[in-house]
Amino acid sequence: MESNSRKELVVSAIENGTVIDHIPAKSVFRVVKMLKLDSTDGQVTIGFNLESKKFGKKGIIKASNQFFENRDANKIALIAPSATLITIKNYEVVGKQQVEIPETIEQFVKCVNPNCITNSQQITTRFLVIDKADLKLQCHYCEKITGKNNIEIL
Protein backbone atom coordinates (compact mmCIF):
# COMPACT_ATOMS: atom_id res chain seq x y z
CA MET A 1 0.00 0.00 0.00
CA GLU A 2 2.71 2.38 1.02
CA SER A 3 4.87 1.71 -2.02
CA ASN A 4 1.84 2.29 -4.30
CA SER A 5 1.16 5.75 -2.94
CA ARG A 6 4.84 6.62 -3.27
CA LYS A 7 4.72 5.66 -6.98
CA GLU A 8 1.82 8.03 -7.50
CA LEU A 9 4.02 10.83 -6.31
CA VAL A 10 6.77 10.12 -8.82
CA VAL A 11 4.61 10.78 -11.87
CA SER A 12 1.30 12.43 -11.18
CA ALA A 13 -1.99 10.90 -12.29
CA ILE A 14 -3.95 12.15 -15.28
CA GLU A 15 -7.67 12.70 -15.57
CA ASN A 16 -8.13 11.51 -19.16
CA GLY A 17 -5.63 10.08 -21.58
CA THR A 18 -3.13 7.30 -22.01
CA VAL A 19 -0.37 5.97 -19.81
CA ILE A 20 2.36 3.99 -21.51
CA ASP A 21 4.09 1.98 -18.84
CA HIS A 22 6.92 -0.56 -18.74
CA ILE A 23 8.97 1.10 -21.46
CA PRO A 24 12.65 0.09 -21.30
CA ALA A 25 14.35 3.24 -19.97
CA LYS A 26 16.61 3.66 -23.00
CA SER A 27 13.64 3.62 -25.39
CA VAL A 28 11.43 6.17 -23.71
CA PHE A 29 12.46 9.15 -25.83
CA ARG A 30 12.20 7.12 -29.03
CA VAL A 31 8.61 6.29 -28.09
CA VAL A 32 7.93 9.98 -27.45
CA LYS A 33 9.26 10.82 -30.89
CA MET A 34 7.48 7.95 -32.60
CA LEU A 35 4.11 9.05 -31.25
CA LYS A 36 4.99 12.68 -32.06
CA LEU A 37 4.39 13.62 -28.42
CA ASP A 38 7.28 16.09 -28.70
CA SER A 39 5.17 18.29 -30.95
CA THR A 40 1.77 18.04 -29.26
CA ASP A 41 0.11 20.94 -27.48
CA GLY A 42 -1.31 18.68 -24.81
CA GLN A 43 0.22 17.93 -21.46
CA VAL A 44 2.74 15.09 -21.46
CA THR A 45 4.60 13.79 -18.43
CA ILE A 46 7.66 11.72 -19.07
CA GLY A 47 9.30 9.56 -16.43
CA PHE A 48 12.82 8.40 -17.20
CA ASN A 49 15.00 5.92 -15.29
CA LEU A 50 12.30 5.15 -12.77
CA GLU A 51 12.87 2.17 -10.54
CA SER A 52 11.18 -0.99 -11.67
CA LYS A 53 11.15 -4.45 -10.11
CA LYS A 54 10.84 -6.01 -13.57
CA PHE A 55 13.39 -3.99 -15.57
CA GLY A 56 15.63 -2.35 -13.02
CA LYS A 57 15.00 0.99 -14.73
CA LYS A 58 11.97 1.85 -16.79
CA GLY A 59 10.29 4.73 -18.51
CA ILE A 60 6.70 5.89 -18.34
CA ILE A 61 4.75 8.37 -20.46
CA LYS A 62 1.48 9.98 -19.46
CA ALA A 63 -0.29 11.84 -22.26
CA SER A 64 -3.35 13.82 -21.28
CA ASN A 65 -6.33 13.67 -23.63
CA GLN A 66 -4.51 11.50 -26.13
CA PHE A 67 -5.75 8.08 -27.16
CA PHE A 68 -3.92 5.75 -29.51
CA GLU A 69 -5.23 3.39 -32.11
CA ASN A 70 -4.00 -0.17 -32.52
CA ARG A 71 -1.76 0.84 -35.38
CA ASP A 72 0.09 3.29 -33.14
CA ALA A 73 0.21 0.79 -30.30
CA ASN A 74 1.88 -1.68 -32.64
CA LYS A 75 4.45 0.91 -33.60
CA ILE A 76 5.51 1.07 -29.97
CA ALA A 77 5.95 -2.73 -29.91
CA LEU A 78 8.86 -2.41 -32.34
CA ILE A 79 11.03 -0.47 -29.91
CA ALA A 80 9.37 -1.25 -26.59
CA PRO A 81 7.86 -4.73 -26.84
CA SER A 82 7.25 -4.88 -23.09
CA ALA A 83 5.15 -1.70 -22.98
CA THR A 84 1.63 -1.60 -21.60
CA LEU A 85 -0.96 0.90 -22.80
CA ILE A 86 -3.39 2.03 -20.13
CA THR A 87 -6.41 4.11 -21.04
CA ILE A 88 -7.64 6.49 -18.33
CA LYS A 89 -11.02 8.15 -18.13
CA ASN A 90 -12.01 10.21 -15.08
CA TYR A 91 -8.91 9.02 -13.22
CA GLU A 92 -10.09 5.41 -13.69
CA VAL A 93 -8.33 2.72 -15.67
CA VAL A 94 -10.80 1.76 -18.39
CA GLY A 95 -8.50 -0.30 -20.59
CA LYS A 96 -5.17 -2.07 -20.38
CA GLN A 97 -3.38 -3.47 -23.37
CA GLN A 98 -0.07 -5.19 -23.89
CA VAL A 99 1.45 -3.93 -27.14
CA GLU A 100 1.91 -6.60 -29.79
CA ILE A 101 4.26 -6.94 -32.74
CA PRO A 102 2.06 -7.36 -35.82
CA GLU A 103 2.60 -9.91 -38.63
CA THR A 104 3.16 -7.18 -41.19
CA ILE A 105 4.25 -3.59 -40.83
CA GLU A 106 3.32 -0.81 -43.18
CA GLN A 107 4.39 2.75 -43.55
CA PHE A 108 6.37 3.70 -40.49
CA VAL A 109 9.66 1.79 -40.69
CA LYS A 110 12.49 2.69 -43.07
CA CYS A 111 14.17 -0.14 -45.00
CA VAL A 112 17.79 -0.54 -43.90
CA ASN A 113 18.95 -1.19 -47.47
CA PRO A 114 20.10 2.11 -49.04
CA ASN A 115 19.63 0.61 -52.50
CA CYS A 116 15.99 -0.31 -51.85
CA ILE A 117 13.48 1.34 -54.19
CA THR A 118 11.48 2.57 -51.17
CA ASN A 119 14.44 4.76 -50.20
CA SER A 120 14.65 6.55 -53.53
CA GLN A 121 11.02 7.03 -54.57
CA GLN A 122 7.76 7.88 -52.80
CA ILE A 123 6.72 4.35 -51.92
CA THR A 124 5.03 3.20 -48.72
CA THR A 125 7.30 0.68 -47.02
CA ARG A 126 6.00 -2.80 -46.22
CA PHE A 127 7.62 -5.53 -44.14
CA LEU A 128 6.89 -9.08 -43.17
CA VAL A 129 7.82 -9.81 -39.56
CA ILE A 130 9.86 -13.02 -39.90
CA ASP A 131 11.07 -13.16 -36.29
CA LYS A 132 9.15 -11.57 -33.44
CA ALA A 133 11.42 -12.65 -30.57
CA ASP A 134 14.66 -11.41 -32.17
CA LEU A 135 12.91 -8.74 -34.21
CA LYS A 136 13.61 -9.22 -37.93
CA LEU A 137 11.64 -7.47 -40.66
CA GLN A 138 11.89 -8.57 -44.27
CA CYS A 139 11.25 -5.84 -46.82
CA HIS A 140 8.35 -6.72 -49.11
CA TYR A 141 10.18 -5.04 -51.99
CA CYS A 142 13.93 -5.63 -51.79
CA GLU A 143 13.64 -8.76 -49.58
CA LYS A 144 16.50 -7.56 -47.32
CA ILE A 145 16.21 -7.94 -43.58
CA THR A 146 16.04 -5.01 -41.18
CA GLY A 147 17.11 -6.16 -37.72
CA LYS A 148 16.10 -4.72 -34.37
CA ASN A 149 19.26 -2.63 -34.09
CA ASN A 150 18.66 -0.96 -37.45
CA ILE A 151 15.04 -0.01 -37.08
CA GLU A 152 14.52 3.59 -38.03
CA ILE A 153 11.07 5.06 -37.69
CA LEU A 154 9.81 7.27 -40.50
Partner 1 sequence: MKNRSLVSINDYTKAEYLKILDLAEEFEKNPKQNLLEKFVVATLFFEPSTRTRLSFESAASQLGAKVIGFSDATSSSVSKGETLKDTILTVANYSDIIVMRHPKEGSARFASEVSKVPVINAGDGGNQHPTQCLLDLYSIRKTQGKLDDLHIAFVGDLKYGRTVHSLVMALCNFNTTFHLVSPVELKLPSYVKMHIKKNNLNYFQYTELPDIMETADIIYMTRIQRERFSDPIEYEKVKNSYILTAGMLTNCKPNMRILHPLPRVNEITEDVDSTEQAYYFTQALNGVYVRQALLATILGAK
Which listed range, 31-39, 74-82, 94-102, 112-120, lies at the site for partner 1 (CB under 8 A)? 112-120
> Smaller CB distance to partner 1: residue 101 or 142?
142
Binding of partner 1 by 145 (CB under 8 A): yes
Buried-exposed string 94-111: b where 16+ CB fall within 10 A, e elsewhere: eeeeebebbeebeebbeb
Binding of partner 1 by 143 (CB under 8 A): yes
Binding of partner 1 by 97 (CB under 8 A): no
Which listed range, 6-14, 15-23, 51-59, 143-151, lies at the site for partner 1 (CB under 8 A)? 143-151
Per-position x/- string for 15-54, each x denoting binding to partner 1 as judged by CB under 8 A, each - no binding: ----------------------------------------
Residue 8 CA: distances (Å) to CA of 2, 56, 73, 95: 10, 18, 24, 19
Residue 72 CA: distances (Å) to CA of 33, 50, 67, 77, 106: 12, 24, 10, 9, 11
Q: Nearest 5°: phi and psi at 41? A: -90, -15
Contacting residues for 131 by C-beta, under 8 A, at least 6 apart: none
Q: Name which of residues 123 to 142 contact partner 1 (CB under 8 A).
A: 123, 139-142
Selected binder of partner 1 within 117, 132, 152, 154 (CB under 8 A): 117
> Minimal CA–CA distance to 66: which of 92, 84, 86, 49?
86
Binding of partner 1 by 103 (CB under 8 A): no
The contact set with partner 1 (CB under 8 A) reads 111, 113, 115-118, 120-123, 139-145
